[in-house]
Amino acid sequence: MGSYAFARRRTAEAVVRSPEASELVLAIVKPIGILNQMVLDRSPRLDLVFHALAHPARRAIIRQLTLGERNLSELAAPLKMTFPAATKHVRMLEGAKLVRRRVSGRQQLCRLNALPLKEAMLWTEQFRQYWEARFEVLDSLLDEMKAEEQAGARRP
């Protein structure tokens, strides 16, 4: 039986199936802490990066900037958006330090600053490693179960 913990309540109610019968039982579960450990990670800089990357238009702008410096009109054209709309998206990316903008004459030139992307990648890497280890354990368990099943099928 899994236990559910809610961060803001002293006790939590959980509906569980009784192991002896098929009836539902209401159980009071005392929280053991916050279940989602990512909630404990307080990084305003990462929050800005993930918020900026949450919009598909901003991700498309980042993709374009991987090819090199572009002016704002070049960034807006494939997205079929107005210059002011593209400017708002670029400002959001600037706020997350993902884009640097400079004015050259009448042009606003943007270029990518990949450092915040690297920080986000390193943050997500820890979860990839965790889940990869969990899947390896699951793979070994499934291999073991399959071997036992085949051994049982061979016995007359």
* Domains present along the chain, CATH in parentheses: 1-40 (no CATH), 44-115 (1.10.10.10)
Sheet harboring 107-112: ordered strands across?
Answer: 70-71, 107-112, 99-104
Q: What pLDDT is recorded for position 59?
A: 96
Q: Is the dihedral angle over the CA atoms 143, 145, 151, 156 positive or is it negative? A: negative
Q: What pLDDT is recorded for position 140?
A: 92
**Radius of gyration of the chain from its Cα atoms, rounded to whole angstroms:** 25
Spatial neighbors of 34 by CB under 8 A, at least 6 apart, are 5, 7, 40
Contact 108/101 with Cβ under 8 angstroms? yes
Phi, psi of 17 (to 5 degrees): -90, 130
Q: What pLDDT is recorded for position 88?
A: 95
Rounded to 5°, angle at Cα 57 from 55 and 63: 110
Q: What pLDDT is recorded for position 68?
A: 94
Spatial neighbors of 11 by CB under 8 A, at least 6 apart, are 28, 29, 30, 31
In tens digits, what is the pLDDT along the chain, a chain of 156 residues?
444 443 333 444 444 444 555 555 455 545 555 455 555 567 888 999 999 999 999 999 999 999 999 999 999 999 988 889 999 999 999 999 999 999 989 999 999 999 999 999 998 898 888 889 899 999 999 999 999 888 887 776
Hunting for tokens 């238009």 — which residue is that? 57
Q: What pLDDT is recorded for position 5?
A: 40
DSSP-based three-state secondary structure for 30: coil
CB-based burial, 7-37: b 16+ in 10 Å, e otherwise: eeeeebeeeeeeeeeeeeeeeebebeeeeee
